[in-house]
Amino acid sequence: MSRVGKMPVTIPAGVDVSIKEDQISVKGTGGTLATASSLLVKVNNDNGKMTFIPVNESREANAMSGTMRQLVNNMVTGVTKGFEKKLMLVGVGYKAAAQGNKLNLAVGYSHPVNIDMPVGIKVETPAPTEIIIKGADRQRVGQIAAEIRAVRPPEPYKGKGIRYSDEKITIKETKKK
């Protein structure tokens, strides 16, 4: 059995989990999240501990038990604490400004880039060169961060662009004669 799938998910107080045949939904202070349930995994909720057991001994069922466990764990963490990604802007004149549910970027193009945030995702700019994306759904937070980074990815010669705060850019040496 999958090592991740063996570990139970503890459900903290204030979080409500409902298990139906086709979906698992988690409700908490951070919102409500739902994911599709797999037919290869049997889900049990015993007094605040959720276990994920493969239906048969197949490789797919084993892998799916670990996947379902981690998806539910991410949903429980999302509705209690939430997830966040930090981005940094590196470059002369590069700046970002959050206005409500919009993010305005000035990253060296002849026009400003405006990005609308979907429902459930909040964006903050504590400094003009810092962007913080927060939300309950881990996948959506990471996807929005990747889309913002794709506006101006870091280039390898000077390192200018939008990068994750923990990302290391390897600077290439310029061509010599």
pTM here? Answer: 0.89
Enumerate domains of the chain plus CATH numbers. 3-80 (3.90.930.12), 83-164 (3.90.930.12)
* pLDDT at res. 48: 87
Q: What is the residue-level pLDDT of the chain in tens, covering all 177 positions?
A: 668 888 999 999 999 999 988 899 999 998 999 999 999 999 999 888 999 999 998 999 999 999 999 999 999 999 999 999 999 999 999 999 999 899 999 999 999 999 999 999 999 999 999 999 999 999 999 999 999 999 999 999 999 999 999 999 999 998 888
Q: How far apart are CA 10 and CA 47, in angstroms?
A: 9
What is the per-residue DSSP string for 126-174?
SSTTEEEEEES-HHHHHHHHHHHHHHSPPPTTT--EEEETT---PPPPP
